[in-house]
Amino acid sequence: MPTAAQIDAIKRTVPVLQQHGEALTRHFYARMFEHNPEVRRYFNPAHQRSGGQQRALAGAILAYARHIEDPSALAGAIEVIAQKHASLTIQPEHYPIVGENLLASIQEVLGDAATDDILDAWAAAYGELAQVFIDREQAIYAGQRERQGWAGFKSFTVERRQVESDNIVSLTLVPTDGSTPPAHLPGQYVSVRLQDADGNTAMRNYSLSNAPGAAAYRISVKREVGNRDVPGGDVSNRIHDRLAQGDRIELSPPCGAFTLDLSASADKKLVFIAGGVGITPLISMAHAALKASASRQVIFIQAARHGGVRAFTSELETLAQDHPNFALYTCFSEPRQTDRNGDHQVKDGELEANDLERWVGGWDATYYFCGPLPMMQRIDKMLDTNGVAADDRRYECFGPLQPLAA
């Protein structure tokens, strides 16, 4: 634990971090990739180019400084990050690399404001936080070896390709050694390791979209075409264009803190709100919820631009036909003429509060939602405004962890 004087020094840096946090983290990543290029493969370059990774780290450093006297307030965020690190097989030897470059960036960006007492305080604080992550990640690896039979990366074979929409393809994956993969928790993801278009090793996280306990894993990958501001995804495009039935890729064991909890309030409604490819963890959750109970009401709301990019259409409709306690609704923000069929369960436009209240039958429910960050921010605010407790608002960000509230 940092000393009282070190805690005071860190707290004095809060205003500076508020003003210069992103400049600091931009400098940090550039410095680390220059001095330690071996760690670059652990980071998604699209998140670097978009600035999302830098903003997320700046927010995390600021939050840690604000809660330096009570780091337990950050337990939820720490668990999310530790799970992500474990999926990428981060090891204890990586932490000194990060620490050295972070402290150097603090000194180089803040200049004279980075006094010796501030640098010493941040060195002590980083050492403590690093040990928290190391201990948790080692526990995750031990649990994977015990429960799932492997840690690190393992070879899987593409058993099947399935086109789910104009921009999403599913891969059914089986262990190359002929074993049966352990059941994942609904909502978890795996890390895929393969070579990118330049021949470099790349790792990306993809949610498991199949029902838990199946004889194979299924990931469903959106083609990230990019635009003027954000480049396309090297790995997602390679999966769409190059990966075929019979090819091999490597997977790490399932990880993730965004999982379905069926242990409490068994009579409370479950509401899943999916935006775009954010459907992938939620459809796995829906399968699990329906298997667990034939009476608990499950409401599934899917948002897409139009029917061409609506994924898992037939699978969801089959669930609705087979389970009387499952209700399916769809919102199209840019509907095509063929999407307008007059069905009261299909809406033109974004999901609004009156739609949600009508379809759910009030607000008393547990909500799981995943999709583009602006959509999740809007949903979270909507739920909060209508009295839904924070414990009943559960979400996952694809990519760097971002707060939903401003």
Torsion of CA 266, 269, 270, 273, to 10 degrees: -170
Cα separation values, 52 from 21, 249, 328, 363, 399, Å: 13, 27, 33, 32, 8
**Contact assessment for residue 329 and residue 359, using Cβ atoms and an 8 Å cutoff:** yes
Cα separation values, 90 from 21, 249, 378, 398, Å: 24, 19, 33, 19
How many Å apart are CA 403 and CA 406, to the nearest integer?
7
* Diameter of the chain measured on Cα atoms: 68
DSSP-derived letter for residue 155 is: E
Angle between helices 14-35 and 52-66 (to 10 degrees): 130
Closest-CA residue to 156 (of 191, 184, 205)? 191
How many Å apart are CA 342 and CA 347, to the nearest integer?
9
Q: Output the 3-class SS for 390-401.
A: HHHEEEECCCCC
Please tell me which residue in 64, 95, 126, 368 is annotated as part of the active site.
95
**Contact assessment for residue 272 and residue 299, using Cβ atoms and an 8 Å cutoff:** yes
Q: What angle do CA 27, 31, 35 make, to 5 degrees?
A: 175
How many Å apart are CA 279 and CA 294, to the nearest integer?
22
DSSP string, 77-146: HHHHHHHHHHHTT--TTHHHHHHHHHHHHHHHHHGGGS-HHHHHHHHHHHHHHHHHHHHHHHHHHHHIII
Residue 126 among the catalytic residues: no
Contacts of 141 (CB under 8 A, 6+ apart): 86, 151
DSSP-derived letter for residue 201 is: E
Residue 368 among the catalytic residues: no
Please tell me which residue in 137, 164, 224, 396 is annotated as part of the active site.
137
Q: Which two tokens mark 36?
A: 């330690």
Strand partners, 299: 271, 327
**Contact assessment for residue 278 and residue 222, using Cβ atoms and an 8 Å cutoff:** no
Q: Which two tokens mark 122?
A: 């941040």
Catalytic residue numbers, as ranges: 95, 137
